[in-house]
Structure 1
Amino acid sequence: MTSTTARGSGTTLLKRIQLGLTCFSIAANALCAGGIFTFPLMSPALAEHLKLTQPQLTTIVLAGMIGQYPFAAVVGKTIDTYGPWLCSLASAFLFSCGFGLFSHEIARTPDDITAPSQSSFERLTLYYFMAGLGTVFSYFSSLFAASKNFPDYIGIASGTSMALFGLSPLFLSVLASSFFTDPATGLDVTHYAAFVGILAGVVHVIGAINLRTPERKIQSIEVPREDEEAVSDDAEPESDGESEQSPFLHKNNDDNARVGFVPVEDKQSVGDLLRDPHFWLLALIVMFSLGSCEMVISNVGTIVVSLPSSSSASALSTPSEAIATSTQVRLLSLANTVSRLLVGPIADFISPIASHLPCGTLHYPRKHIISRMSFLSGSAILLFITFGWMGIGITGQQQLWLLSIGTGIAYGSVFTVLPSIVSSVWGLSNLGRNFGVLTYAPFIGTPFFSYLYAFISASHASDGVCKGRDCWQVTFAITCGASILSLLSSIYLWKRWKGRM
């Protein structure tokens, strides 16, 4: 008996150590994965040293942003099948190669060139795309390692990992300004990019060793006898247009918990998912919300440049532009991080996620106060206010804080609740794959809104960089309309999925 107890204690200790190492790597992966979002810090040096034009700079950063999405479904399926460790290993390779080759390309370019090299521009675009692809491998490895290790607190787990991912640009920008920036010459992009590649590579190799997820165990709960009889009565003839897939909700002995009965979706195919019209409506919300947010994240540097530093100023010095851009990047990162930290626990408290049991039963641990779709509706309202203010109220750089904070909060909130919404509607077994398929929506939305911004800005540019509110006023009017469509769609899904999340 004593030896058995000792072995049990030893096993428990090992599991706790393994869980601790997993949590460490979740945090480290997320914190070191946001290198592509620090491009606004690098773009002034690239324009000066490589003589890259604004459209070329936009194309490079857009390659990194959309590089997160093409293989998202494959990455999700890899996690569902093999676990997050393999994705962490892949991201180590992609980060090291992407940022390392990016740094090498800049270093080998002579200082005395007078025109941009087309081949160099194409290589930089490819390398930044590799870094973007590494980002989605890293993001999924930390997100789903957290979600699957803590399935009963998926909001807190996913929110925390996403918060650290949102904090990554701030963390890396502090390192950039502290160790790789000279007051006279600005950021040393060559050494900074090399450092990011090495740091991310080492951290994600360690993550490949530490990231593990527990096997799913069959759960059981006691359903009161009266509920069993109700289920058996309801299961016989179908009436009022209800099918065997209609959810039945019953209260158990605890007034704060509910038990529901829904079909098990473990064998659901991608085709089944794509035939669901509600999935396409959710994808539309994601495309409009995240696509417009990532347009702002990608172009906040040129938005800063388009405005005077004060209402009476007409020109900006380079140091002022750099400081103002860095400030907006940090505000975006902080707002993104804080929203993810807060939204996850709040969502778990007011919108608890059901436990999916093998027999098709859903168990709700606490009483619902409001649907998780409310967070998508709230984000759409916030984006409408933020973009509307850009269109009618802003006159100088000092007012850009509302754009950065509003965009960061909405961006973080949408990303935080999406995994739990997907798992609530389509189950946990294929969560990685289903979430990956859903992320194709911003893959379409981000380039659409980004090139919309770029073409409108270019049409009003007289001497290289566009100046004035005309650079983006029409763009933000269009994003206001997209926010209204997102709001209406989220309200419809809120009603359709009542009782599911």
Structure 2
Amino acid sequence: MRTNTGSLRTRLILVCCAVAANALCAGGVYSFPLIAPALVEKLRLTQPQLTTIALVGMAGQYPFAAIVGKAIDRYGPWSCSLAASILYALGFGLFASEVAHTSADLPQASQASFRLLVLYFGMIGLATVCSYFSLVFAATKTFPQYIGIASGTSMSIFGLSPFVLSLVASRYFTPPGQTLDIANFFTFMAVLTGCVHVVSALVFRTTPIPQESSSGSEHSEDPGTSAGASEPVGALEEAEPLLGQDSGPKPKDPATVHVVPVQEPQHGSTLDLLKDPYFWVLCVWMLLVVGAAEMVVSNLGSIVLTLPSASSSDTTANVSRQVRLLSFFNTSSRLLMGPLADVLAPVASYFEGVWSFTRRRHLSRVVFLVTTSLILAITFAWVEVGVRTQEAVWPLSVGVGIAYGSTFTVLPGVLSSIWGLPNLGRNFGIISYTAFFGTTIFSYIYAFIAERHVPPGDNACIGVECWQSTFWISTATSLVACCSALILWRKWRHRV
């Protein structure tokens, strides 16, 4: 018995280590702000070209989410970890080779080289979604009774990946006074991510993951946990501790519980969902908030590059600092916002056959959507009036990090409360397409406005005019998103 217990503990530790290793190495696609200055300096890429490369890696993850999720449902997390290993090794390796063999004496960017870089960065983006799903599902299926903690912790480590990689890039691959050595850094990333993910695939493959077999009775008694543990693709894609709330122990004495009955979620078809006008209001909110946030994530390096430095620090160090700030606050908001939302705005659950609130609510969860919109609006407005040097960009990194992390922490609870937990994966997958369109729209708004202000004979935009109009537009759209959230609050404040 003691031997079996020790063996089980060893296997669980191996899975946890594999999940953490995948998560820490999987944020390479978010390192684009670090390489953007070097691509401008050495390959003469224009802002629209930079935006296209970043966009393929960032927004290109969304269309493949359903395919990756089905692969995990059918074959297990190991299959996607193995796919991520191959894609990372090829994507980073070929990108590094292309940069190394492109002459720095070209008067303008090579179109053939640009197209190849787009393809290779797209491979890195696809590897990211494979890695992300493999680590999240491996964690949640290994600990089905602690699904919220498992998903929240694994995704928080994933959020720290850009922070860690930026430290490595700036310390070991950036010569003093120069831009990042992309070729060497991406070669290192190809080896690191390829080896880590293939080892993780072996761990996930050889270590049985206790799903229904180890906790079948608990699953049958607890609809919240069962749905969360078996939900395909999107159910856990951006889930935080919100998804595990129905799996907690029920109060022993029903007479002492103050039950507030509420309307039961709508368990309808996809057509029923699309017929709901308030779903489209939520889609508008998602498009405007996530689109603007991911525009900043993709172009943070270019934004810093447009400004002068107020100190002797070089541009690469300043870009790396902003990436670390954004990563830190993105991760922190995910860790803090989930428990805060659970305490202040618990979601309803079945109690004694009634869909109801069994804990005291202090506010509606939709208030977090309103707050996120306001944070973005204030952040973008502050950039307009208060940012004139590279060092002063930090409020943008902090505000966007908080808003971005909070969005994906609160959203699953809202979706499950209104349209049901069993359909959470489907609904999240549908609404994620609005983020894809939003990111594309905002990224090209930034790119083309910056391109208009490039001096003749140059390929880089310098000065606040490169992004001033973009952030005024983003401020206005964030306020529109706030109004959309207020509409949802008026409709849903008694339900979620």
Shorter-chain TM range is: 0.7 to 0.9
The 1-side partners of 2:392 and 2:177 are apart by: 27
| Distance verdict in 2 for CA 1:113–1:307, change over 3 Å | closer
- One-letter amino acid matched to 1:280: W
Are residue 130 (structure 1) and residue 127 (structure 2) matched? no
Per the alignment, residue 327 of structure 2 pairs with 333
The 1-side partners of 2:35 and 2:433 are apart by: 27
The 2-side partners of 1:256 and 1:157 are apart by: 30
* Residues 168-222 of structure 1, C-alpha deviations (whole Å, 9 max, x = no match): 111111111232222255422112112222222233334434554622621169x
| Distance verdict in 2 for CA 1:411–1:220, change over 3 Å | closer
- One-letter amino acid matched to 1:340: R
| Distance verdict in 2 for CA 1:364–1:194, change over 3 Å | farther
| Distance verdict in 2 for CA 1:497–1:204, change over 3 Å | farther
The 1-side partners of 2:145 and 2:44 are apart by: 52
Q: Tell me if the contact between 1:377 and 1:491 (Cα under 8 Å) persists in the aligned partners.
A: yes
Larger proportion of helix: 2
478-487 vs 427-436, greater mean Cα deviation: 427-436
Equivalent in 34, 44, 53 of residue 51 of structure 1: 44
| Distance verdict in 2 for CA 1:488–1:209, change over 3 Å | farther
Per the alignment, residue 308 of structure 1 pairs with 308
Structure 1: gaps spanning 5 or more residues: 1-5, 222-250, 311-315
Are residue 444 (structure 1) and residue 437 (structure 2) matched? yes
| Distance verdict in 2 for CA 1:138–1:425, change over 3 Å | farther
Are residue 320 (structure 1) and residue 322 (structure 2) matched? no
Calculate the aligned-residue CA RMSD, in Å: 3.2
Equivalent in 221, 228, 232 of residue 219 of structure 1: 221
The 1-side partners of 2:114 and 2:167 are apart by: 27
User: What is the CA-CA distance between 1:403 and the residue it aligns to?
Assistant: 1.0
User: What is the CA-CA distance between 1:408 and the residue it aligns to?
Assistant: 0.8
User: What is the CA-CA distance between 1:437 and the residue it aligns to?
Assistant: 2.4
Per the alignment, residue 283 of structure 2 pairs with 283
Equivalent in 417, 424, 427 of residue 417 of structure 2: 424
User: What is the CA-CA distance between 1:155 and the residue it aligns to?
Assistant: 5.1
Structure 2: gaps spanning 5 or more residues: 224-252
The 2-side partners of 1:150 and 1:425 are apart by: 26
Per the alignment, residue 241 of structure 1 pairs with none
How many aligned positions are there? 457
* Residues 409-454 of structure 1, C-alpha deviations (whole Å, 9 max, x = no match): 1111112222333333333444334322222111101111111111
User: What is the CA-CA distance between 1:100 and the residue it aligns to?
Assistant: 1.7
Q: Tell me if the contact between 1:158 and 1:344 (Cα under 8 Å) persists in the aligned partners.
A: no
Q: Tell me if the contact between 1:252 and 1:259 (Cα under 8 Å) persists in the aligned partners.
A: no
Any residues of structure 2 matched to 1:16-31 within 5 Å, and which? 16-31=9-24
Equivalent in 399, 403, 420 of residue 396 of structure 2: 403
Q: Tell me if the contact between 1:152 and 1:353 (Cα under 8 Å) persists in the aligned partners.
A: no
Q: Give the SS at the match of 1:375.
A: helix
| Distance verdict in 2 for CA 1:198–1:467, change over 3 Å | same
- One-letter amino acid matched to 1:375: F
| Distance verdict in 2 for CA 1:177–1:134, change over 3 Å | same
| Distance verdict in 2 for CA 1:10–1:264, change over 3 Å | farther
The 1-side partners of 2:85 and 2:416 are apart by: 28
The 2-side partners of 1:133 and 1:284 are apart by: 26
Q: Give the SS at the match of 2:308.
A: coil
The 1-side partners of 2:371 and 2:297 are apart by: 20
Equivalent in 454, 465, 468 of residue 473 of structure 1: 468
The percent identity for this pair of structures is: 50
Equivalent in 177, 180, 188 of residue 173 of structure 2: 180
State the TM-score, normalizing by the size of structure 2. 0.82
The 2-side partners of 1:258 and 1:179 are apart by: 57
